[in-house]
Amino acid sequence: MATSLRHYFKVRKRMSKIIDVYGKKLFSLALIFNALLTVAFAVGILGGFYTLYPLWKPYPPYIIDGSIFWILIPAAVINIFPCVNIGKVHTGRLWFHHYVYGFIVMGVSIAALALSIPVSLMLNLFTGYITDTNINIGRFFILGGLTLVIDDLPDVSNGLKSSLSFLKSKAHKHSEVIHAVQVVMVFVSLYFLTAISLYLLQNPPEVTLANSILVGTLLTTTATSIANSKRRAWLNIKLEKTKTTKNVSDTA
């Protein structure tokens, strides 16, 4: 009886640890993907604005000018590094590093789109206003593949790893400035979320699937910015110590 109970609690503890590790990894990947999706939305709206202006203005009068969507890009990008850190757990790997699967997903998605849509659409894949379901699925997988690559970026090459370590040391040196920018970006994200939500509330025909996803993405971006500011993510950057022994385990 005692042996069975010990075995039960041992298995339960192991399962709890697995759920915790993979939960953190999936949560981290989801937040990175959301940041990339926010950037993709901003680029798409900017593309439409500069192509159709003055015939089309996004979400008037709450968005004062379409060009301010440029500010949304750094508001999303600044969340990526803290979100990658959330997923710094030991998950092991199946045959290859995660970035290999990321490149495969991106390559297959791009090839499939290139074979099925006109060159003009392919050249404006993220800057054009596209409602085709198959194309949007392709864009989804491209961003998903890029998410895996970003999550595993230091393992792509030693040169890239050294460059990222250099950038990390610079960020550590100027962490207070970056943290202040992060706080400002909370209000930037909140502005876009509020402005677009108010516009959609007053214009029900504009409540499309794309705009609904945009609002959800902005909500997640705003919440992520608030969380990263509150936990002082950029102020708590830890520089890696030089390793004297070879680490054979994967820290994907």
pLDDT in tens, 7-34: 666 777 777 777 877 788 899 999 999 9
pLDDT digits (tens, 9 = 90+) for 72-92: 999 999 999 999 988 877 666
Report residue 140 as tokens: 């989804």
CA distances from 207 to 41, 113, 213 (A): 16, 27, 10
User: What is the Cα–Cα distance from 117 to 166, expressed in whole angstroms?
Assistant: 41
| Domain housing 118 | 18-236
In a domain, 166, yes or no: yes
Q: Quote the pLDDT of residue 246.
A: 43
Q: Quote the pLDDT of residue 162.
A: 92
Q: Quote the pLDDT of residue 120.
A: 86
In a domain, 184, yes or no: yes
Q: Quote the pLDDT of residue 243.
A: 47
Q: Quote the pLDDT of residue 2.
A: 63
Q: Quote the pLDDT of residue 9.
A: 64
In a domain, 1, yes or no: no
Give the count of domains, the chain.
1
In a domain, 249, yes or no: no
Q: Quote the pLDDT of residue 114.
A: 94
Q: Quote the pLDDT of residue 252.
A: 45
Instruction: Give me the residues of the chain with pLDDT under 50, please.
Output: 243-252
In a domain, 245, yes or no: no
